[in-house]
Structure 1
């Protein structure tokens, strides 16, 4: 579950934009593992919940499933105007009630960490294994290095995963390392804009997720990975 960097549009490569979830199954023995991509473009940790998307995912989760959670790209911006999808920039328990521009009604907005905890705890309650990921890196550079989200969504996702005792994969840094090695000019071919990736860019992000999985100690899903 996540945003357009996990599934772009309908997941069929419109405008040559792909999310890494569209290719994730190719890394696994699909005679033993099935991959479902429930991500949706434009969603944040907050709106994936408030729009009822989580309510559609949760009933299908069964004991022994693995749930990958990646948000952050859309968690900024206004709380109650325009697309109104921001979460509070924290992992604490604070909240803020706002009047929504689109309907004039109130909504209580919680922190980025709060929404992640909802997904983690409810998935655990069904016997699933949540995995928290930092967002994919944006194609933005400083002094020849791709920018990381070390002080924001990477940091917060990692802290929540530690608090909830679930695995964390730093997808942001794993892919940024690859991009640093390729160089800014070459990496431009892997992005359609500052955020969305081509097919090759999506495959690169998927490979980063697999590298993160392989590095986890004694993680059950590893035995289904196809080593290439």
Structure 2
């Protein structure tokens, strides 16, 4: 009898161990496709423009507790007759990448004398990616630095227009263990040629250097979270499902966004007497009564797999193997397009791809909270033991912490279903997080959480890498091996969704092209 799968939409993002928070939540702070705002209907009167990342932006989530950026709740604590909030913040953007968006052009064209500009970047400036990274160590005159990006693109822009800029340090990333150090408070280490540093400190220094108001949200949220239990702090954050452990440790919910917005308005009012006159004195402080379940939240049922459900898109895959792509794949069209998700049988295995072999196309991901993957699998009774082995010949693997390949055993399987709610249990051996020195060769999703099991001691995989992978199931114990690394044992029931079967096979995710040869599945 199949059990009910309780899950809902999850776009990002990273409850975890301290490492998993640092690794997976950050990975989930991705660039989301957002409709740009090309104009402002009425530019008359005083405006409060808001620029920043997903911690300030608006969303349309069917999460149990949807994501809300604090920029969406600022108007609640301001006098609407005196000032209007124009929220231009965009998910996944850094202070650098935001300048390429139509929203930035809208800001440049419309901000005027007497307006205000809240500037809230940092989460994505930390990313070791050319398109988003800014250096936290440079001065405001140093091209490529965080200070320079904030100053030239936002502070100076506002000042030149006669508007008032307001800098905000980024909110903390929530820690299940209440350990607020490192990237939880935006203090990063050097990574792959990208300098680390203290992003919040850079914001505060810039504010002091330029005489600009600054709200230190890093310190405010850190102090608040350290004074509360993990259960209490989870109530400030988005939940993907009704389960508390589906909490999104980066993004706020409506209550959390309201609390932070209230902090911002009150802190700015203390520093700017003119702004203080724009505050709604009658607005009550936010309470947890704001936190209500999303009425659109859906709990889908799991139908189970039957060979008759074989996908047309992967019809060339010979039985007893079956092909599929599912999860957060970026849309239905990507699932049905071989350049995004493909499985081609060979004499002794399969060539599989997620995304293109030149890195220009991507589909799926392995992230802290959700997955999207292409899988070639067999259905095996849950009570049967087995060994799955294959040699992975890497043709292309994009330098992206959400790109992955390897062997996998899953609790459940879905046939060509683009569904961002899928984050059920599995055990995997393969490559993940390969832009970092301590990249991962074995990992597990358990009760929605992605857990790193082992760091690889071998060289990072790239085009030309050839590695033998294996998974052996003995009861509820899985022995996984990546190349010459020592075997790792992972405990997993894998029966929370499908009590009758497990699904063992090969997978790719996001942007990986791999030829799997010598593929053998021996069921005992």
TM-score normalized by structure 1? 0.83
How far 1:177 sits from its partner (Å)?
2.3
| Number of the residue aligned with 1:112 | 146
Q: 1:178 to 1:142 in 2, by over 3 A?
A: same
Q: Residue in 1 aligned with 2:252? A: 197
Where is the helix percentage greater, Structure 1 or Structure 2?
1
Q: Please tell me whether residue 88 in structure 1 is matched to residue 135 in structure 2.
A: yes
CA distance 1:7–1:127, shift in 2 (3 Å):
same
For 1:18-167, list aligned pairs within 5 A: 18-80=68-130, 84-92=131-139, 93-95=141-143, 110-118=144-152, 119-140=154-175, 147-149=184-186, 152-167=198-213
Match of 1:225 among 271, 279, 282: 279
Runs of at least 4 residues off by over 6 Å? none
**Among 259, 262, 269, which residue is 1:214 paired with?**
269
Question: Offset of 1:148 from its aligned partner?
Answer: 3.3
> How far apart, in 2, do the equivalents of 1:131 and 1:165 lie?
10
CA distance in 2, matches of 1:52, 1:89: 25
Give the superposed CA RMSD: 2.1
Report the Cα distance in structure 2 between the residues aligned to 1:14 and 1:165, rounded to whole angstroms: 42
Distance in 2 (alpha carbons) for counterparts of 1:224 and 1:94:
36
Counterpart position of 1:103: none
Say if 2:123 and 2:186, in contact at 8 Å, map to a contact too: no
CA distance in 2, matches of 1:190, 1:201: 4
Structure number with higher strand proportion: 2
Q: Are the structure 2 counterparts of residues 168 and 91 from structure 1 closer, same or farther at C-alpha, using a change threshold of 3 Å?
A: farther
In structure 1, distance between residues paired with 2:129 and 2:150: 18
Counterparts of 1:159 and 1:40 in 2: how far apart (Å)? 25
SS in 1 for 2:235: helix
**Secondary structure in 2 aligned to 1:182?**
coil
Q: Aligned partners of 1:214 and 1:181: how far apart in 2?
A: 25
Judge conservation of contact 2:58–2:71 (CA < 8 Å) in 1.
Answer: no
TM-score by length of 2: 0.38
Query: 8 Å contact 1:91–1:160 — kept in the other structure?
Result: no
Deviation, 1:24, is 0.8
The worse-fitting range, judged by mean Cα deviation, of 132-141 and 177-186 is 177-186
Distance in 2 between residues matched to 1:14 and 1:143, nearest whole Å: 28
How far is the alpha carbon of 1:144 from its aligned partner?
6.0
Q: Residues of 2 paired with 1:143 and 1:179: CA distance? A: 7
Unaligned stretches of 5+ in structure 2? Answer: 1-50, 188-196, 239-247, 285-524
CA contact (8 A) 1:175 1:208 kept: no
Aligned residues of 1:47 and 1:85 also touching (Cα < 8 A): yes
